[in-house]
Structures are given as structure tokens and as C-alpha cells.
Amino acid sequence: MTTAVKVRGLTKRYGDVQAVGGIDLDIRAGEVFAILGPNGAGKSTSVEIMEGYRTRDAGEVSVLGTDPNRPTREWRSRIGIVLQTADDVAEATVRETVRHFAGYYPNAKDPDEVIEQVGLTDKAGKRIRQLSGGQRRRVDVALGVIGAPELLFLDEPTTGFDPEARRQFWGLIEGLAHNGTTIVLTTHYLDEAEALADRVAVVARGRIVAEGEPKTLGGRATAKARVSWSDEGERRTLETDTPTRTVLELTHRFDGEVPELTVTRPSLEDVYLQLIETPA
Ligand SMILES: Nc1ncnc2c1ncn2[C@@H]1O[C@H](COP(=O)(O)OP(=O)(O)OP(=O)(O)O)[C@@H](O)[C@H]1O
């Protein structure tokens, strides 16, 4: 296993605010890694340190084998960054902008292909200032991937996207991941993390409070199942380790169809909310 990003004991303080209070991370080459956490948890600060856009107070950081505090041009060209709010209102068109950025990279992708990938082909001739917020975010994504990066950072990439654009974007990320790009994303959408991430870290108050695969995070996979049904108009709920047996018993009791039966386990959102509420 090759490690794309290694972080040890990372700290960062802004005046009185301890934004990052000792974070350790290992992000493997080729994986999609999501960083989750409430507003102000320290996600952007951590990611910007990894990108080389912020200095750290203490700790070790290695990104593709380089300390981001000592970036080289060659290292920069191997990394793609999609910023949270790129609001540079441009008079240039989408195609001109993407082509222009392609010129900065030694192994740039074909601009028209990238425009197609982010679903902007029919807007390629439009000026950036004429685009909607979500369409501009897609331009940001195009600029993040145009250099064919080995490692792509995405800070809240789908904020402002409509549901269709989000699904399309997920497809784009899956395609990049399939081709071996390592992806580090922050998001507030737990369904996004669940759909895309191989592993997630939950950050709260500047620390990692949980880390793992979305399906097993916080003991999700082994948590009790909740069996719920309707009994003469009243909702009944049971938490159990053996939901199949419970359903079988109910099937006998109701002589077949159990009214309004549901069987659920904690969602990623349930586990996440519990994790971030746990006092420090
Ligand atoms: N440039 C700055 N100067 C002072 N304080 C800052 C600065 N940037 C961030 N902070 C503070 O550091 C803490 C962590 O902020 P950060 O932006 O890393 O959080 P975040 O997890 O990315 O939040 P969000 O989900 O809202 O983007 C917050 O308390 C924030 O107010």
C-alpha cells in the first residue's frame, strides 16, 4: 500500500481558537477519503495545510512524499485543487478558461473532454459570469482536474448543485477514482460520503473522533436493528440483534403480511450526529 497523504500530530491555532488540535491521518493512494464534521471543526484548515496554502504550528505532513510547506512546481502539477468559493467573475468563456488552465500543466487533459465530463458542453461558449452558481462550481471542478492530478482535493464540491448535477458529479468522481486518482473531499452531505468514500474521518473540535469505512463507522454494521410495524393502528418498535427472527415471529403472528413493516439500522447520519455530539 502506498500512502498518498500522511499527517501526524497536526495542530493549528488562530489566536485563541485551536482550529486543529492534533490530527493523524493516513490516506492511501487510489482511495476516496471523505472528511466530515460540523462547521468550524477544522476541516478546511487541515485540507489547506495539506494543499500547501496554510502553514501549520506543529506536526508532520507529507503529501505525495513532499512537505507542503516546501512545494515544488513539479509537486504542484501532480495535485488538483477545487476551492470552496472560487468567485473570480470572468469575462472569458468556459472553453477559454479551461484551455487557459490546461496550459499550466505538463500532462493536461483535453479541455473539451473535461468540459464534457463536468456536464458543461452546452455552456462551453458562455462567459463564466453568465453561469449559475452550480454551473460555476462545475467550472471549478473542471479546473481542478484539467491537469490530470494524481491527488485531487475537493472542498465541499457539490454545495449549490441541484440533485441531478450532484449525481452527475458523483459519476465524475467515481470515474476519476476508477482511473487511480486519489481523492480527498470534505462534505456536509452524508449521502455523498456514503456514495463516494472508501473511508471517512469525522472531525469535531479540531480532532478526529472516528475513522473507518462508511458502512461500519461507529459500529453501524453491528448495531441493533430496529424493527417497526403497525398493530391495530398503533406503531410498535423493537430493537434487536436478530431482526430476521423477529420478522419471522411477526409473520406468524399476523398470519402472513406484517402491516407497515420496516427494518432499519443506524444510518451514517445517525452515527455521525452521535459522534459529533459526544462531549470532548
Ligand atoms: N483565517 C482565520 N483566522 C481566524 N480564525 C480562523 C481562520 N480560518 C478558520 N478559523 C477558525 O478556525 C476554526 C476552524 O475553521 P475551518 O474553516 O477549518 O472549519 P471547517 O471544518 O472547514 O468549517 P466549515 O464546515 O464551516 O467549512 C473555526 O473556529 C474558524 O472560525
Tens of pLDDT along 134-188? 888 888 889 999 999 999 999 888 887 888 888 888 988 898 899 899 999 999 9
SS3 207: strand
| pLDDT tens column, 185-216 | 999 999 999 999 999 999 999 999 999 999 99
For residue 55, pLDDT over 90 is answered with yes
Reported ipTM: 0.96
Q: Nearest residue CA, atom 26 of ligand 1? A: 39
Is residue 40 lining ligand 1, measured as CB closer than 6 Å? yes
Share of the chain above pLDDT 70, in %: 96
Q: What is the DSSP letter of 258?
A: P
Ligand 1 atom with the shortest distance to the CA of 20: 14
> Would you say 156 and 187 are in contact if contact means Cβ atoms under 8 Å apart?
yes
Q: Nearest residue CA, atom 27 of ligand 1? A: 39
Global pTM value: 0.87
- Sheet (strand 182-186) strand order: 79-82, 151-155, 182-186, 32-36, 199-204, 207-212
| pLDDT tens column, 75-126 | 998 999 987 555 565 788 999 999 999 998 888 999 999 999 888 999 999 9
C-alpha 259/C-alpha 51 separation (Å) is 54
SS3 183: strand
